[in-house]
Amino acid sequence: MNIRIYQISPERDENRLMFMDTDYLVHKVGSVTPDSATYDLIYEGKVDCKSLEDVYRVFNLEHPVEFMGHSLSVSDVVEVVDGGREKPGFYFCDTFGFKNVPFDPNAVKTLADRGAISVVIVEPGKLARPAYIDCTLSGMQRIVGGDIEAVYPFKEEVCLVCNEEGKLKGLPLNRALYDRKGDVCDAIAGTFFICGCGGERFSGLTDGQLKRYTQLYKYPERVVQARGKIIAIKDPIREGGDKER
């Protein structure tokens, strides 16, 4: 499913509706229409879910590494863009289940408004995917699981950000790095992401770069050392997680 998740910003929650259900919403404002202007866009992307209940489980028990909000809770709004068994629309997370509600996504603060940048996230054993991440130091450390290190294997102003001590900590080998001849020269351990590095701070990728680096690192690799050499074998899997035949 392609989804977006919206959560109330405490700073703009004048009616104190965060974590309140539709009964309280009706009591307080007279309808089940959330005030879209009090919401922030917290997440957008493709998730391996077929229903809203699946989404609830994932965003309570299996947060994507780039997720910048609190666990999915009452008063949050999930937008189903496409996919799965649910009809496209906006769904209010209620005390029990979800309720389809009117919602204006143009009134919210977007991920870009909140300083997020567009990157490609690459996790061991998973398909590479475009995502927005929190560009603060703590946000980047959360993605890679520790102190960050930037690696510059590309000709353009784009870098690979990984865990500085990934190998020392025994994190699983993820993807290989290649030299100018196309031979494997090293491997990255643990989750990493690709971002822009042309200015004083890391920056978001362009649409073209998102497509290019998502394709470059799309498939997982089995990275092993044999006879003093590093060998990388592509391990194709389908979008839903099944291995290709």
Do 121 and 103 lie in a common domain? Answer: no
Distance in angstroms (rounded) separating the CA atoms of residues 48 and 239: 8
Do 99 and 66 lie in a common domain? Answer: yes
Burial 44-64 (b: 16+ CB within 10 A, else e): bbbbebeebebbbebbeeebb
Rounded mean pLDDT, 47-51: 94
Among 107, 133, 168, the domain boundary falls at 107
Contacting residues for 12 by C-beta, under 8 A, at least 6 apart? 37, 38
Among 107, 139, 156, the domain boundary falls at 107
pLDDT, averaged across the chain:
91
**What whole-number percentage of the chain has pLDDT above 70?**
96
| Count of beta carbons in the 10 Å neighbourhood of residue 26 | 12
19-28, 208-217, 226-235: least confident range: 226-235
Strand pairing class (192-196; 184-189) = unpaired
Domain-embedded: residue 239: no
Q: What is the pTM of this model?
A: 0.84
Strand pairing class (192-196; 116-122) = antiparallel
How do residues 85-129 score in pLDDT, each as one tens digit?
Answer: 999 999 999 999 999 999 999 999 999 888 899 999 999 999 999
Structural domain of residue 27, as residue ranges?
Answer: 2-107
Among 51, 86, 107, the domain boundary falls at 107
